[in-house]
């Protein structure tokens, strides 16, 4: 009976170490050089903006403002961007964007586009 809490604690520690490692590797892969970032930003405003609004306030597509995005899981939002939403006008972008690029866009949406 006394051993169980200790085992659980150890499992919890192992999981937090794994989580930290994942966090480190994913944040590192989200940095691109500034030319590439400008390209992605341009795609976000021009292509995504054509449906979601130039300032992401929404249009044909839903609003993608920080208040709509901040509490949502980044990986889940990246999946939406890559796979699209079937039976809606939201197209899949996986032929044009990598997962890293989709995650970069998600972070940008969470921060909010500067006008």
Contacting residues toward ligand HEC, per CB under 6 A: 47-48, 50-52, 60-62, 64, 68, 77, 80-81, 85, 88-91, 93, 105
Identity of the residue, 26 or 91, whose beta carbon is nearer to ligand HEC in the bound complex: 91
Query: Cβ 37 to ligand HEC, closest distance in Å?
Result: 14
Query: Cβ 111 to ligand HEC, closest distance in Å?
Result: 14
Look up residue 50 and give its two tokens.
């054509």
66-80 residues labelled b (16+ CB within 10 A) or e (exposed): eeebeeeebeebbee
Q: CA–CA separation, 85 vs 61, rounded Å?
A: 11
Q: CA–CA separation, 24 vs 56, rounded Å?
A: 29
Identity of the residue, 16 or 42, whose beta carbon is nearer to ligand HEC in the bound complex: 42
Identity of the residue, 2 or 95, whose beta carbon is nearer to ligand HEC in the bound complex: 95
Query: Cβ 31 to ligand HEC, closest distance in Å?
Result: 19
* Region for 107 from its dihedrals, namely left if φ exceeds 0, alpha if ψ lies in -120 to 50, beta otherwise: alpha
């Amino acid at each position: 009976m006394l051993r169980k809490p200790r085992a659980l604690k150890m499992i919890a520690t192992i999981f937090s170490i794994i989580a930290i490692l994942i966090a480190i590797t994913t944040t590192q892969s989200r940095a691109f050089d500034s030319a590439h970032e400008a390209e992605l930003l341009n795609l976000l405003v021009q292509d995504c903006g054509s449906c979601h609004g130039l300032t992401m306030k929404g249009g044909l597509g839903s609003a993608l403002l920080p208040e709509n995005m901040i509490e949502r899981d980044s990986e889940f939002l990246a999946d939406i961007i890559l796979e699209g939403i079937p039976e809606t006008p939201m197209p899949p972008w996986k032929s044009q964007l990598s997962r890293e690029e989709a995650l970069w866009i998600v972070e940008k949406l969470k921060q909010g586009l500067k006008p």
